[in-house]
Amino acid sequence: MTLSEVFAGLGRERFDGILRGVSMGALKTYKVYEAFKVRTRLLKLNRDKLRKAAPKLWDRLAEGDDDLARELAQGALVSNLEMIIEVLDFLEIPHDGNGFFDQDDDAKERLTEGWQERVFAEFGERYPEPLLLLYVNHLDWEMNEPDKVFLAA
């Protein structure tokens, strides 16, 4: 499964929710603002322009634009590192304190049967559903080769 398929599996409504959670400040802090702007094909990037571009971005994801999918996921996730840190701590995955971890480490071994459900049960009321589902699926996509999108339903 590709990352664009993850977005497709989450659906358009959740996609819009994910875009609403992207922080321009976080993009600039983590030096991904320009790359994000280029990949989204926006001459000017702000929350309003990103929201208005959602239909076109959605169409590109539906066509399988995995580069766009990676950039959108990165933008959404760096905008919500607090959640990522809490999830990694909950899963006992060692990280650098900022939510970044060594993929070659034993992290994959910590994703035991039912980990997605446990994460969603623990954090489902604390964080927006679209964002949490994106992260759970993104983490699974990074560590494993899932064949379906986790939707917690």
Q: What is the pLDDT of residues 82-132, one digit of tens each?
A: 999 999 999 998 888 877 777 666 677 888 899 999 999 999 999 999 999
pLDDT of residue 97: 82
Average pLDDT, the chain: 93
Q: Long-range CB contacts (< 8 A, 24+ apart) of 142-145?
A: 142/103, 143/103, 143/107, 143/108, 143/111, 144/108, 144/111, 145/1
pTM of full prediction above 0.85: yes
What does the block give as tokens for 96?
């650098």
Average pLDDT over residues 67-81: 96
**33: CB partners within 8 A, 6+ apart:** 24, 27, 45
